[in-house]
Amino acid sequence: MQTPAMNGPRFNEFIQSQKVRVIDHEGENLGVMFTREAMEQAAEHGLDLVEVSPNADPPVAKFLDVGKFKYEAQKKANLARKSQKTQEIKEIKMRPNIDDHDYDTKMKKVNDFIGEGDKVKITLRFRGRELSHGQLGMNLLKRVQDDVAEIAKIEAYPRMEGRQMLMVLAPK
């Protein structure tokens, strides 16, 4: 007698309740019966009795091929994992006295990143005496905020960290 792997549904002799609600291989409800009796009927069809809803009262069990059932469940889980999108944080670095064309190029990249569903961290680096003109940086970040208003929301408002000013944008 083999023991089931700790993952996956209980089946056959590993079902712990005395009575189960049984659904046959064609999807028809056979009603509530003793687990032993249900296992014998499943064996007649060459299938296993698999517990599909253990929290119900009484638990629901189906006539299935347990190997095939586990394989299908694994396949479904892999497909769900493959199709989910992880959100990354992309960083765009600027300077407070950035030129118009350079700004447009950076904004094109910001729009691309947000379009792909990623967050964008905009870093404004101050050098030397630029630090005493913090309002230039705030004006630039306000301009960025206005330019992406229809496609992104601000997740972290502009703040100073040492010689850098940071702002985080997220897709709407």
Instruction: Read off the pLDDT of residues 70-122 as tens digits, 9 standing for 90 and up.
Output: 899 899 999 988 888 778 899 999 999 999 999 999 999 999 999 999 999 99
pLDDT tens readout for residues 114-142: 999 999 999 999 999 999 988 999 999 99
What is the value of pTM for the model shown?
A: 0.56
> Among residues 77, 1, 72, 12, which one has the least CA distance to residue 43?
12
